[in-house]
Amino acid sequence: MEMKCLSLKDLISVRKIKAGSDDTDTMNEQKENICVERRIMTPLKSDSLMAHRRVCSPDITHITPIKHPEKSHPDPWTPTANLKMLISAASPDIRDRELKKTLFRPIENEEKVTEEDEDLDDSCQFEVLDDSERRPSRKQKSLGLLCQKFLALYPDYPEASESINISLDEVATRLGVERRRIYDIVNVLESLMLVSRMAKNLYVWHGRSLLSKTLEELERTGREQGYHLLMDQRDGSSPHAAQHTQNTHVASSRRKDKSLRIMSQKFVMLFLVSKTRTVTLDTAAKILIEEGQDDSSHSKYKTKVRRLYDIANVLTSLNLIKKLHVREENSRKPIFKWIGPSDFRSDSESLEVSGAHTGTAERREKMVRHSSFIQVVPTPHVNRRLINSAPSTPHRDGKDEPVDFSRKSVSSVACRLQFEDSPRAPSAGSTSVAVSLQPETPYTAQFTPQAVAYLPQTPVLMLYSSHVPEGITQGQRSPVTDQKKREREEDENQASKRSKRTASTESETAESECLDTREVSPGNGPVKEDGVEKRSNTDPHHSSQYLYVPNTAGLNGLNFLMPAGHTHGGMPAVAVPYFLVPSPLIAGTVPASCAEGAAGGGLSFSVPTVLSPARFVMAGGAFGMADKFNNAEHHGYRGPGSTLSPQGLRKESPRPVQMQTPSTPKEAALWSKSFFETPGAFGLLASPPAARKRGSAQRKLDIEHPSN
DNA sequence: GGCTCCCGCCACTCG
DNA sequence: CGAGTGGCGGGAGCC
C-alpha cells in the first residue's frame, strides 16, 4: 500500500514536470544557470550537470534509468518515514506539499532528478549512470552545495529597484530539500545580512549589497568584545582564551549564543579580528562555548563543532572562507581562512575584495553607497529590544545577551548591530547606524531631493530638505498642527495600547489598514488618506510634511522619507505607497549642515553629513517592511521600482505584515515623534519579559511599535 | 578512528 | 492544536 502511494505520487509529479509547469520563473532559472557556473569554485559534478541540463534539454533529465528505491522516497521502514507516509496518505494537503516538492526537484536538484526519473521513467532507460551518480553521496547533499544552489538563485547584488522575495517553502521545493535545511542556510545568510526575514516563510534577498557594512560592524563588535585578544592568544589552544571571553561577557547569553545566526556572526568576527584571518574550528568552538561546565563541556563542544561545520559550509559557499587542513601531530585540524572582503573598513572606497570574482564593477559601484556611516548611540532599550528577537531562551537574564542584529535588519531597528551587551561598555558601539548621502540613487533624482540619508543596514533612504519649493504649499490642512499634536499626545495612551498589542502579537499578522499606503498622484494631485487630503504646508518656507515611502513598493528595501512638497508637482514622480510624516518631527532631525548643503538643491550633497544618531534611530517597527504584495495589490501600485520577484508574485504572502505606521495624521505625528526624536524609542518597544521570550520557535516579524 | 555533518526529532512560540 | 522555527545530537559517510 505504501509503495502504491509513492508510485502514484511520483507518477503524477513526473507528468507535471513534463508538462513544463516549471516555467514560472524563467528569469531566475537563467540567473541560476549563469550564477552556478560563476560561483562554483570547484566544479561539482552535480551542479554543473544540473546547469548544463537545464540549458540543454529538459528531456535529458529523464535519462536516468535505474531506480533507487531507498532514495526515491524516505525509507519506509523507519518509524519516521512510515509515519510520514501514513500522514501523507491521509492528508491531501500534505500530499500536495510533497507532490510540489517532488515536482520541483528535477529542476533544482540533480540527484533528485535522477532519483525521480528512475522512479518514474522506467521506460526511458537509455543510459545508465554509475552508482555514485545515481545515489547522491553525502557530499552531494551537503549544506555547502545546497547553499551554492540557493545562492545561484539570486544575484549577488540585486538591482536597487528589484525586490527579491524568498519563500522558504518555494526554495525548499525548488531545491528539493526539507525546510529545515533551508533554515540552516538562511540563518547564516541572515547573520550577514544577505537576507532579511520579512514574515514567516518570507525573506527578502539583499545579496552582498550590505555585506561590507555588516562585516565592518562585525569586526568592530568583535574587537569590542575582545575577540581579537582571544585570537591573538589562541595558540594556547584557547581554553584560556575562551575563559577570557566568558569573563568578558559575564552573564552573557545562554541560548542565543547557540543560535546559528549568532554563532555565525561570532564566527565571522573571529576571522575579522584575527591578524592571520584564520580560525581553527577548535578555537572557534572553544571561544564560542560560554559556560565551561565540565560535565557537559564535551558534548557542548561537539555540538558547537557541528554547528560550526554547518556555518563554515555556508560561508564557504559564499566564498568568504575556505577550509584548509593543518597537520598537527597526529591529527588534522581543520582551519578556515578568510578569503572574503578585507578592505571593508575603508570609507567610500569600501569595496568588496571578493567582489572581483562575484560581482561586476557595476555591482561594486553600488557598494559605495553604503560607504560612510555614523554611529548611533545605543541604548539599553535598544539592546533589549534586539535581544528580544534573539531565540528565546528558557532562562533569559534579560541583559548582556548577544543580539542578533540581523534579525532586525530591514524590518526593524535600522542598522542596529548588537551582538552583545558588554557589561563594560553597555553602549559601546554594539549598535551602529550607517548613514550616508546617496546622491546617485535613482530615486533621488526623480524626487529632486534636497538631501538624502541612506541607512545601509536597514535599507532606509531618507530625503529631507529645509525648505519647500513653491507650488507645494497649496494650503491643504496640515495634519500636524500643534493642536493636532496635542490631541495626539492625548491619544498616546491609545497608541501605546496599540503598540503593546502589536509587540505582543505576531507582527506579521497585520491589518493592512495600518499600513498607510496611498497611491501617490504622479502629478499635482493631492494625497489622499482615507479620503482626506493631506499634503501641504501652511508655512511656505517649511515643508510641513514628509512622505515616508516604505519599501513595500518593491524598492528593494529602500524606504523613503521625503518632503511632501518637494518633488516636482508636489508629489513624487513615481507612484509608490507612502504616508506623510509631519515636518516638525523631522526637521529637528536634520542637522543644520546637512540642511544647508541640501538647500542647494539638486544633488549637491556629496559631503557625508553626520546626522544625529539618536534622531536617526528609525525603528523598523514602524518602517518595517510591509507586505509587499499586499501593498502592491491592494493599492494598485505598479511603480517603476516595483519589480516584484516572480516568486513573490507567484506566492502569496502568508499574511499582511503589520505595519505600525500611522494611518492618520495624528498617529503619524505621534509615531514619527517617537521614532525621530526618541533615542530610546526602541527600547520602549521592548516587550516585557513575558512577551519577549521567544525562541527558536516561530519568530515574530521583527517589527515593533515605536511607542509604548 | 577521528573528522564531518546529514538528518530529523522535538521543544517552543504563537495564532 | 497546528504551523513555523530552529536547537540539538545520534550516527553514518568520508578520509
With distances taken from each CA to the C1' atom of nucleotide B10, the closest residue turns out to be A697
CA distance A679 to A233: 38
Interatomic CA–C1' length for residue A318 and nucleotide C10, angstroms = 29
Strand order in the sheet with A331-338: A278-280, A331-338, A321-328
Chain A, 58-97: which CBs lie within 7 Å of strand B? 74-75, 78-81
Instruction: Yes or no: say if A292 and A219 are a contact pair by the CB < 8 Å rule.
Output: no
| Three cell numbers, residue A20 | 513544463
CA distance A369 to A544: 28
Mode of pairing for the β-strands spanning A162-167 and A202-205: antiparallel
Interatomic CA–C1' length for residue A332 and nucleotide B2, angstroms = 9
A695 touches strand B (CB under 7 A): yes
Residue A228 covered by a domain: no
Interatomic CA–C1' length for residue A190 and nucleotide B13, angstroms = 21
Chain A, 499-518: which CBs lie within 7 Å of strand B? 504-506, 509
Query: With pLDDT > 90 as the criterion, what percentage of chain A qualifies?
Result: 6
pLDDT computed for residue A306 by the predictor: 92
| Residue scoring higher pLDDT (A664 or A286) | A286
**Tens of pLDDT along A323-334?**
887 766 666 778
Q: Which nucleotide is nearest to A306 (CA to C1')?
A: B5
**Tens of pLDDT along A143-170?**
999 998 899 999 989 888 888 889 998 8
Q: Which nucleotide is nearest to A299 (CA to C1')?
A: C9
pLDDT computed for residue A140 by the predictor: 84
- pTM for the predicted model, two decimal places: 0.45
Lowest pLDDT segment from A366-375, A424-433, A486-495, A657-666: A366-375
Q: Which nucleotide is nearest to A307 (CA to C1')?
A: B5
Alpha-carbon distances of A397 from A421, A680, A695, rounded to whole Å: 12, 20, 14
Q: Nearest CA to A674 among A683, A363, A665, A578? A: A683
CA distance A457 to A190: 12
Instruction: Please compute, for residue A389, the number of CA atoms within 13 A of its CA located in the half-sphere on the CB side.
Output: 35
Reported confidence tier of residue A322, pLDDT bands at 50, 70, 90: confident
Interatomic CA–C1' length for residue A274 and nucleotide B2, angstroms = 28
Reported confidence tier of residue A287, pLDDT bands at 50, 70, 90: confident
Q: Nearest CA to A291 among A304, A277, A281? A: A304
Average of per-residue pLDDT values in chain A: 48
Q: Which nucleotide is nearest to A695 (CA to C1')?
A: B12
A143 touches strand B (CB under 7 A): yes
Reported confidence tier of residue A312, pLDDT bands at 50, 70, 90: very high
Residue A364 covered by a domain: no
pLDDT computed for residue A225 by the predictor: 79
| Residue scoring higher pLDDT (A374 or A527) | A527
Q: Which nucleotide is nearest to A697 (CA to C1')?
A: C5
Q: Which nucleotide is nearest to A137 (CA to C1')?
A: C13
pLDDT computed for residue A342 by the predictor: 80
Residue A93 covered by a domain: yes
Lowest pLDDT segment from A120-129, A161-170, A206-215, A220-229: A120-129
pLDDT computed for residue A357 by the predictor: 39
Interatomic CA–C1' length for residue A326 and nucleotide B3, angstroms = 13
| Residue scoring higher pLDDT (A696 or A14) | A696
Mean pLDDT of A584-593: 34
> Domain total for chain A?
1
Residue A44 covered by a domain: yes
According to DSSP, the residues that pair with A463 across neighbouring strands are A452
Interatomic CA–C1' length for residue A291 and nucleotide B9, angstroms = 25
The per-residue b/e assignment along A371-396, b for 16 or more CB within 10 angstroms, e otherwise, is bbbbbbbbbebbbbbbbbbbbbbeeb
CA distance A345 to A156: 20
Reported confidence tier of residue A607, pLDDT bands at 50, 70, 90: very low
Interatomic CA–C1' length for residue A609 and nucleotide C3, angstroms = 46
Alpha-carbon distances of A581 from A112, A242, A402, A675, rounded to whole Å: 52, 48, 33, 11
Mean pLDDT of A383-398: 32
Mean pLDDT of A589-596: 34
Name the range with the highest mean pLDDT among A282-286, A354-358, A593-597: A282-286
Residue A144 covered by a domain: no
Residue A114 covered by a domain: yes
A601 touches strand B (CB under 7 A): no
Instruction: Yes or no: say if A213 and A373 are a contact pair by the CB < 8 Å rule.
Output: yes
Residue A98 covered by a domain: yes
pLDDT computed for residue A297 by the predictor: 73
**Tens of pLDDT along A623-637?**
333 333 333 333 322
pLDDT computed for residue A227 by the predictor: 82
| Residue scoring higher pLDDT (A681 or A704) | A704
- Residue for grid cell 564566527: A267
Interatomic CA–C1' length for residue A512 and nucleotide B4, angstroms = 47
pLDDT at A7 over 50: no
Mean pLDDT of A209-215: 90
pLDDT at A587 over 90: no
Alpha-carbon distances of A107 from A35, A51, A60, A534, rounded to whole Å: 15, 9, 11, 50
pLDDT computed for residue A616 by the predictor: 28
| Residue scoring higher pLDDT (A245 or A514) | A245
Range of the domain at A93: 1-136
Contact positions of strand C to protein Cβ (< 7 A): 2-11, 13-15
Mean pLDDT of A585-596: 34
Q: Which residues touch strand C (CB under 7 A)?
A: A 93, 137-139, 168-169, 179-180, 183, 186-187, 197, 199-202, 255, 258-261, 299-300, 302-303, 306-307, 391, 695-699
| Residue scoring higher pLDDT (A245 or A531) | A245
CA distance A281 to A238: 11
Query: With pLDDT > 70 as the criterion, what percentage of chain A qualifies?
Result: 24
User: A677: which DSSP letter?
Assistant: H
Residue A325 covered by a domain: no
CA distance A693 to A108: 37
CA distance A236 to A241: 8
**Tens of pLDDT along A107-124?**
333 333 333 333 333 333
**Tens of pLDDT along A50-101?**
333 332 222 222 222 233 333 333 333 433 444 444 444 443 343 344 434 3
Lowest pLDDT segment from A205-214, A252-261, A343-352: A343-352
Interatomic CA–C1' length for residue A314 and nucleotide C15, angstroms = 21
With distances taken from each CA to the C1' atom of nucleotide C4, the closest residue turns out to be A698
Q: Which nucleotide is nearest to A257 (CA to C1')?
A: C7
CA distance A120 to A682: 55
Contact positions of strand B to protein Cβ (< 7 A): 2-9, 11-15
